[in-house]
Amino acid sequence: MNSTRPHVLVVGAGPAGLVAALTLLQNGIPVRIIDKDPNPRIGQRGPGIAPRSLELFNFLDVPEVNELGKPMPIVRSFKLGTLESPKESSMVPDLEPTPAIPFHIPKMMGQQLLDVILRRHLEKFSCAVEMGTELRSFEQSDEGVTTVLAKNGILETFDTKWVIGADGAKGIVRKHLGLTFLGETREDVRMVMGDIRLRGVGLDRTYWHRFGTMKRGLSLRPTDEVGEDGWQFIISDNDVDLTKVAQSEELIFETITSLVPTEVTFNKLVWVSEYRANIRMVNKFSEGRVFVAGDAAHVHSPTGGTQFKYTRCCQSRLEACARRKRTRRQVSP
């Protein structure tokens, strides 16, 4: 924590909270950042980082994200029960960088590594995340916000000027402000996803492998962040109880074995979560001196944010090219 009394309390130390804290610190604004979890989160979680986000990290002087991030692998799609005749496809357009558009393709980086990188940059400003510290309540006035924090059963009253709630979709800040979170939960879109270490005969680690369909299938994306035999996996199956699968390492191993038509040797299940498609957004992003950001403000599908940003980025570039062409036609003799 800074020696100067922090002007802003950031609640939640995921990517949204860490970026908010770093931006404020770089602009000379003292920050205190807390997270209720006692230990840093593990797992790839949302690994897709869009070009626009890479531009942001470059602006914040965090080059490691672009340098260490991996391009999206070519996808090999197989029918269930076979490793023969795969269809290969790319998830990104074939673009070359230019001086005007230096960040032209998405990169893959798990949240676990991204958090480590951002925390190291916070340390340059003598700011460290206070783990195991929970926001219990807050009251605000025209002059500031009085919060009640808890750590190891000890309560602390902390006065600050502003609060940023980056504490996730189930966080306290949005609920305490009374903001709505309208949208829908798609019960028909359920998946089990996580990180796993395994070796499979014929599974080339230069490719992203997909078996079957979204109704019943498996996705395996190689990631060295987990280990030299590490993969991020997604299981989809409308005919089984995925909640039960997510709670059992044995069932996860059995399900992967049933979907991959080759000999598989399992090493370790690193992290797992059951996913249901939630599409929700707040009615406003602030109330008085308290703001919400990240998943506390909006949630979407795993690819929703990345795809939307990437599509808008490409669309903006096409529109700019069209404007330049129209201008050239207008000034041509």
User: Tell me: the pLDDT tens digits for 161-213?
Assistant: 999 999 999 999 999 999 999 998 887 778 999 999 999 999 999 999 999 98
Residues 35 and 156 in one domain: yes
Residue 243 has pLDDT above 50, yes or no: yes
- Name the helix (H) or strand (E) containing 89: strand 87-89
For the segment 31-66, what is each residue's pLDDT rounded down to a tens digit? 999 999 999 888 888 898 989 999 999 999 999 999
Q: How confident is the model at residue 3 (pLDDT cuts 50, 70, 90)?
A: very low
Residues 48 and 120 in one domain: yes
Residues 265 and 303 in one domain: no
* DSSP helix/strand/coil, 161: coil
Question: What is the span of the domain harbouring residue 43?
Answer: 8-73+108-181+279-312
31: phi then psi, degrees, rounded to nearest 5: -135, 145
Residues 193 and 260 in one domain: yes
In angstroms, the CA 256 to CA 49 distance is 27
189-212 b/e (C-beta count within 10 Å ≥ 16 → b): ebbbbbbbbbebeebebebbbbbb
Tokens describing residue 196:
């796993």
In angstroms, the CA 189 to CA 278 distance is 9
41: Cβ–Cβ under 8 A, 6 or more apart, which residues? 14, 111, 112, 115
* Residue 77 bridge partners (DSSP): 87, 210
- The better pLDDT of the pair 124, 323 is held by 124
Looking at the structure of the chain, the number of domains it has is 2
Tallying the residues shown for the chain, one arrives at 333
Residue 328 has pLDDT above 60, yes or no: no
Residues 146 and 295 in one domain: yes
Residues 128 and 244 in one domain: no
CATH code for position 308: 3.50.50.60
204: Cβ–Cβ under 8 A, 6 or more apart, which residues? 76
Per-residue model confidence (pLDDT) at position 238: 83
Of 146, 138, 203, whose CA–CA distance to 167 is shortest? Answer: 138
* Residue 76 bridge partners (DSSP): 88, 209
Residues 168 and 267 in one domain: no
196: Cβ–Cβ under 8 A, 6 or more apart, which residues? 226, 230, 231, 232, 233, 252, 256, 266, 267, 268, 269, 270
Residues 17 and 68 in one domain: yes
- The amino acid present at 118, given as its one-letter code, is L
Per-residue model confidence (pLDDT) at position 214: 83
Of 132, 121, 171, whose CA–CA distance to 20 is shortest? Answer: 121
